[in-house]
Amino acid sequence: MSTAESNPSDVDTARSTGAGQDSQPAARPVYLDGHATTPLAPEALAAMAPWWHHQAGNPNSPHRHGQFADAAVERARRQIAELIGATPGEIYFTSGATEANNLALVGAVLAARAQGDVRTQLVVSEIEHKSVLHAAYSLERQGFTVATAAVTADGVVDLDRLSRLISQETLLVSVMAANNEIGALQPLTAIAEIVRTNGSLLHVDAAQIVGKLPFDASVFDYVSLSSHKMYGPMGIGALYVSGAAAYRPQPILHGGDQEGGLGPGTIATPLAVGFGAAAALAAIELQNDARWTGALAERFEEALRERQVRFTRHGAATARLPGSVSVAFEGIDATELIAGVSARISISEGSACQSGQITPSHVLRAIGLSDSLLRSTVRLYFGRYNSENDAVLAAEAIASAVAKLRLRTGDRLQ
């Protein structure tokens, strides 16, 4: 293994100063795909390290090693709860936000039915993550119906249309806080008021927002969290279940009674510790991160304009997750563009969860993009560890690739 491979921080240092970017073709590209996953915070990595070996122990074991591991898991639970204004007893660890979404929708709906609730309608927005949409539609086999709430061209839920969808038959409404493709932020307070007026349950997929912007979970019944979207380790997430929620979800997996029976199986102590450390760090860095990442996204767009690159940015300028950029270069195939810049920057086409599929993004469809713009859209996220040099480099790489692709297709205009 080379020094660069064993020491990512060395590469980051060289990149942030601009050193060696042109003279070292083997250098790693700039990472700009934070919607898919964020780099692990060094503080989280350090916190996890002892629990893999020196302090290894099953938190469910009665001996001292188990007790130490259990104390570490509970500390992490407190750190996550503090970040979102919850109590530790309202946090249940899962394998990730996908499991948390399924547990919130399927588990809560089945719990309501088991307790005699006769409501059968679920409402989800058009731009939810596939784990929410598929979980909701899976319940149709059990007699439930699913209604989809339309969004505006900026990817924001249309409140008037949402109000008309929700009725006394609506059991649960699910809306993501920040979209994983275009970064659109939802008016959660207004949505909660509409939902509460009808007495429905409210689930929020907060995977993209928690750890990046302030978030208060206490307004909602269920909230899904993802560690690796907030500089924590992959493989772990959490579901917030409000102590005031009308129904505690039924388990959707079966085994032991870990996590109050909602998450059977041994909790991965190192992952929980890393998740907790990332949450504690986020609580400190929220304001700085938001300012920094937002400024980098603006610098990137400014650098594109300086290079006279034609582009269309999706989503509102203000109601957008800081650092998030969804942008189309009309007439340019996104897949070819991504390949053309891959030696210099790592970016995505639409949602990472549907990579390899031919079907266009349902999110981009929902906001009304033309087929041309759909095929031309790429997604970037400027995170905590990116630099201004990264933003300018990204613009340079894209400008160069777009120019080459336009020349190849006979369009010589930038």
Phi/psi-derived region of residue 155, left when phi > 0, alpha when psi is between -120 and 50, beta in every other case:
left
* pLDDT at residue 189 is higher than 90: yes
The CATH topology of domain 44-279 is Aspartate Aminotransferase; domain 2 (3.40.640)
Residue in 195, 143, 193, 190 with CA at minimum distance from that of residue 173: 195
pLDDT of residue 411: 54
76-130 pLDDT, tens digit per residue, is 999 999 999 999 999 999 999 999 999 999 999 999 999 999 999 999 999 999 9
The reported pLDDT for the residue numbered 272 is 98
**Ranges of each domain in the chain:** 3-43+286-408, 44-279
Question: What percent of the chain is helix, strand and coil (3-state, nearest 5)?
Answer: 45, 15, 40
pTM: 0.90
Q: What angle do CA 245, 246, 252 make, to 5 degrees?
A: 85
160, burial (CB in 10 Å: exposed 0-12, middle 13-18, buried 19+): exposed
Give the separation between CA 126 and CA 98, rounded to whole angstroms: 17
Q: Rounded to whole angstroms, how far apart are CA atoms 11 and 13? A: 5
Q: What DSSP string runs through 218-244?
A: GGSSEEEEEGGGTTS-TT-EEEEE-TT
pLDDT at 352: 52
Task: Please give the helix or strand (H or E) that residue 172 lies within, else none.
Answer: strand 170-176
Comparing 66 with 256, the larger pLDDT belongs to 66
SS3 of 286, please? helix
Among 258, 251, 368, 388, residue whose Cα is nearest residue 312: 368
**Candidate list 56, 153, 353, 407, residue with the active-site label:** 353
Greatest alpha-carbon pair distance for the chain in Å reads 71
**Residue found under tokens 């060696």:** 20
Q: Which of 187, 169, 207, 196 is nearest to 316 (CA)?
A: 187
d(CA 321, CA 183): 5
Nearest-angstrom CA–CA distance, 203 and 113: 17
The confidence score (pLDDT) of residue 2 equals 32
C-alpha 8/C-alpha 106 separation (Å) is 40
E strand segments, 53-165: 91-94, 121-125, 145-149
Residues 26-55: tens digit of each pLDDT: 689 999 999 999 999 999 999 999 999 999
**Residues 2-21 pLDDT 10s:** 333 333 333 344 334 343 34
Q: Would you call 185 a catalytic residue per the annotation?
A: no
Give dist(CA 238, CA 98) in Å, integer: 10
How does DSSP assign 40-70, residue by residue? Answer: PPHHHHHHHGGGGTTT---TT-SSHHHHHHH
- Tokens 């731009």 label which residue? 127
Q: Which CATH class is domain 3-43+286-408?
A: alpha beta
pLDDT exceeds cutoff 60 at 216: yes
Residue 64, token pair as written in the block: 């001292």
